[in-house]
Amino acid sequence: MIVDDHSLISEFPKDKALIQDLNMRDDEFHVLYNQYHEIDREVHRIEEGLENTADDYLEGLKVKRLQLKDQLFQRIKSAGA
């Protein structure tokens, strides 16, 4: 199964330098960034068949990942303004 890349840099490639900068200097961004990528890795493991779980659990992870991505995007947008 081909799994889409949802890493934050893949989602916002034009903001790569800003994302790296925020991750290094903004503690709250760093925490959100780590949570996002931890959930993204778990989604990938499930989608690749390395872990089994209920569909509801996977969908819940995807919703949480999207919420975190929205929070991170707002911080990226604010920092880039």
Contact 11, 69 (CB under 8 A): yes
Predicted local confidence at residue 5, as pLDDT? 79
The per-residue pLDDT for 3 is: 59
0.85 exceeded by pTM: yes
pLDDT tens track for 33-77: 999 999 999 999 999 888 889 999 999 999 999 999 999 999 999
Task: Please name which of 79, 2, 76, 1 lies closest in space to residue 36, comparing C-alpha atoms.
Answer: 76
